[in-house]
Copies of this chain bind each other. A is one copy, B any other.
Amino acid sequence: MSVLVVGSVAFDAVKTPFGEREEIIGGSATHFSISASFFTSVSLVAVVGEDFTQKHEQLFHERKVDIRGLERASGKTFRWKGEYGYDLNTRSTIYTHLNVFADFQPKLPVKETPILFLGNIGPKLQLEVRKQVNTKLVALDTMNYWIESALDDLKEVLTVVDILIINDEEARELAREANIIKAAKKILSMGPKTVVIKRGEYGAAMFSEKSYFAIPAFPAEDVFDPTGAGDSFAGGFIGYLAATSATDEAAMRRAMIYGSVMASFNVEEFGCDRVMRLTYQEINERFRHFKEITHFEEILFERKTGSYKTV
């Protein structure tokens, strides 16, 4: 099955303790689509300005991402600059220039798509897009900004999505609940059938009414630029489900691994640089490595009087 993503395409500027770069092609739709393109066909809907040239489009063409839905408006492309602290866990935004993104009204090239991913844009827009399209599965990302400024709209869109993919802090804020297990349950009661919570260097967890699954992060020593890691995760996760046309628990668990694998590559270099060079062999090696670092045998312990025995 193919995936349609609606989100942002941006020029990012990033400063980390290890280096600095301007004019990186970024944005939620970019990181998502490049990552998902390793698993399935992806169409992208976003807006850019006149400064986004054919040269910049090359990134999408290389990964066969369908960008017929990439609108070019008069003005400048969305620009964001962020700076990361020493441990890469703290990020400060230097500037956010919405530019053409401020008046973005997504125009969908199709009325139907098997899977729709609503990247991190305003919940009102997400809801409009959701209503315009027939689909089997809808996944959604959001952020603190919308939880704080557009909670009612966000709650409305949550009633019409299947999977919510957010981070730890956002989940706690959305549910107004410090305990992450309770927070996830509360969010499930808001609409989504599945809540995926990304926990950065601590891994990820997936909650549904009847099941719980959690994994550590890939043990990354060389985190270089965390920008886009969450969207790369979503791309691998949704891309895998689309490719295998499956949403049973076992498939969703493997999707969690592929999401983590894609995110782990994404952070190794600026922007999409590392992901663009990926091979299937590298992706599957990391999947196998995940199995290796999490596997243990179920041999239970029993202490009989005076003797120790494993059963």
Contacts and interface: CB of A to CB of B under 8 A. Distances in A.
Interface string A248-263: 0010011011100000
A243 B254 CA distance: 35
A121 interface: no
A203 to B, nearest CB: 6
Contact of A243 (B284, B296, B301): B301
Contacts of A240: 301
Interface string A210-237: 0011111101110100000000000000
Interface stretch (A51-59, A106-114, A178-186, A188-196): A178-186
A93 interface: no
Given A221-B181, A288-B300, A310 B215 contact: no
A22 interface: no
A257 to B, nearest CB: 6
A298 B294 contact: no
Interface residues of A, number: 56
A102 interface: no
A301 B213 contact: no
A145 interface: no
A246 to B, nearest CB: 9
Interface in A49-91: 86-89
Given A39-B303, A181-B219, A205-B216, A243 B308 contact: yes
B288 A298 contact: yes
A297 interface: yes
A39 B284 contact: no
Contacts of A221: 179, 181-182
Contact of A296 (B39, B179, B213, B219): B213
Nearest to A243: B308
A128 interface: no
A77 to B, nearest CB: 31
Given A202-B203, A256-B296, 18 more contacts: A38-B303, A39-B303, A40-B308, A87-B178, A179-B220, A181-B219, A214-B217, A240-B301, A243-B301, A243-B303, A253-B296, A253-B297, A254-B296, A254-B299, A258-B301, A284-B302, A287-B301, A291-B298
17 contacts: A39-B301, A40-B308, A88-B178, A179-B220, A181-B219, A182-B221, A203-B216, A214-B293, A215-B296, A216-B216, A250-B296, A253-B296, A257-B296, A284-B301, A287-B301, A288-B298, A294-B294
